[in-house]
Structure 1
Amino acid sequence: MNPRLFSSLRPPRRAGHSLSRLGLVGLLGLAGLSGCAGPQVQDYAAEQPTLDLRRYLDGCLQAQGLFTDRAGRVVKRFHVRMEGRWQGEEGTLDEHFTYSDGSTQRRLWRLRHLGEGRYRGQADDVVGEASGAQAGNAFRWAYTLALPVDGRVWHVSLDDWMFLMDERTVLNRSAMSKWGMHLGDVTLVFTKDAPGSTACR
């Protein structure tokens, strides 16, 4: 993600909170991603069509998306061109972003299927590993990005949901947070190129 997008997504300052205390709040917020509050991926186990992430993220895809801040205001729009490739349980997803201000970015995901719908992923700007799980038409992906903002590096947590609508379309929404506070959301529509496509444009 373009770091400039986050200049308007800063969490509000709270008087009397030290950095160490805010760090504790952030850890509690991350722990909440796997807790019982809110929807869980298994809630969608009976939903159809079934999302096979290795099949869907294999080949050429396009996505249109936008960022909204915590007030719901659209901060920036973007387009993503992607190419996914799988060999057995190992895969890559090469993402090329073009933002509405003309700036560009690339992210290369290295993915692994662990069995029973569980996945791990790594990318250069992801802190540690991303972890995800699939059930029914849904996939939930949680990870932390290291984002340079105003000369510092922020660790921003994403709670990322994908829903397969039909064989070519996935809806994706990610909630962004820092220190346990909601910063905004990323919304995308993925479209897989038609069968027979030989190159990612």
Structure 2
Amino acid sequence: MTRFLLLVALVLSVASCSSVDVARYADQQPALNLERFFSQPVKAWGIFQKRSGEVAKRFEVNIVSRREGNNLILDERFLYSDGTRQRRVWTLTPEGQGRWSGRADDVVGVAKGQVAGNTLHWRYRLNLPVGDSSYEMSMDDWMYLMDEDTLINRTRMSKFGVEVGQVTLFFRRQAVGASQ
């Protein structure tokens, strides 16, 4: 039992040391402005890979946004390769100095994010449905603005500090009036 606890402590300490500070990207251009990027419809394409690298699911997302006071509302509609659909509505709130908080029905507590330069780093816990069960996953989410219309997202999913998979997404802003 002692060896097991030492192993868990080692894994957690290695995982916590591996994170890059988002401030490292402060000078990177183009600068990410969430309100501007999501000011028109966005289409995204992504994959979920298991820890082994196997692609377990492919998906598309259509995102429309609106402002409600200070909040930015993102309405995400997912279509998965197996035909299932999902909807997630984020309420993002600016906290000042590039910091954001976010809430959604399947997010446990509050997501915390920081924008620096072309990069947004989010951390949150997500209730992930798998079959008839739901698992609480820790999400370490990095988004990089490549140009005015393209955002790349890489997310590491973990449980008890152990990576269980990764999500890769490519977002593309759509011309206003483009079909979704």
Task: Return the TM-score normalized by structure 2.
Answer: 0.88
Following TM superposition, the consecutive aligned residue runs of length 4 or more in structure 1 with deviations greater than 4 angstroms are none
- Which residues of structure 1 form unaligned runs of 5+? 1-13
149, 159, 175: which one aligns with 1:178:
159
In 1, the alpha carbon distance for the partners of 2:73 and 2:154 equals 21
In 1, the alpha carbon distance for the partners of 2:92 and 2:14 equals 24
Per-residue Cα deviation, 1:20-73 (whole angstroms, up to 9, x for no partner):
x7xxx69x95x988x654311101011110001121122200000001110111
In 1, the alpha carbon distance for the partners of 2:46 and 2:120 equals 18
In the other structure, the counterpart of 1:190 is 171
C-alpha contact (below 8 Å) 1:60/1:200 kept by paired residues: no
C-alpha contact (below 8 Å) 1:59/1:85 kept by paired residues: no
Per-residue Cα deviation, 1:72-118 (whole angstroms, up to 9, x for no partner):
11111000000012245311000000001111100000110111100
Per-residue Cα deviation, 1:165-201 (whole angstroms, up to 9, x for no partner):
000000000000001100010000000012xx14762
In the other structure, the counterpart of 2:96 is 115
From the two aligned structures, give the one with the greater strand fraction.
2
Identical pairs, percent = 45
Per-residue Cα deviation, 1:116-151 (whole angstroms, up to 9, x for no partner):
100000000100000000000000011101124454
4, 20, 23: which one aligns with 1:39:
20
In the other structure, the counterpart of 2:73 is 92
1:167 aligned to 2:156? Answer: no
In the other structure, the counterpart of 2:128 is 147
For these two proteins, the number of residue pairs brought into alignment is 176
Structure 1 pair 32/142, CA: closer, same or farther in 2 (3 Å)? farther
| Matches for 1:10-49 after TM superposition, within 5 Å | 29=12, 37-49=18-30
C-alpha contact (below 8 Å) 1:144/1:155 kept by paired residues: yes
Three-state SS of the structure 1 residue aligned to 2:41 is strand
- Which residues of structure 2 form unaligned runs of 5+? none
In 2, the alpha carbon distance for the partners of 1:199 and 1:171 equals 21
In the other structure, the counterpart of 2:36 is 55
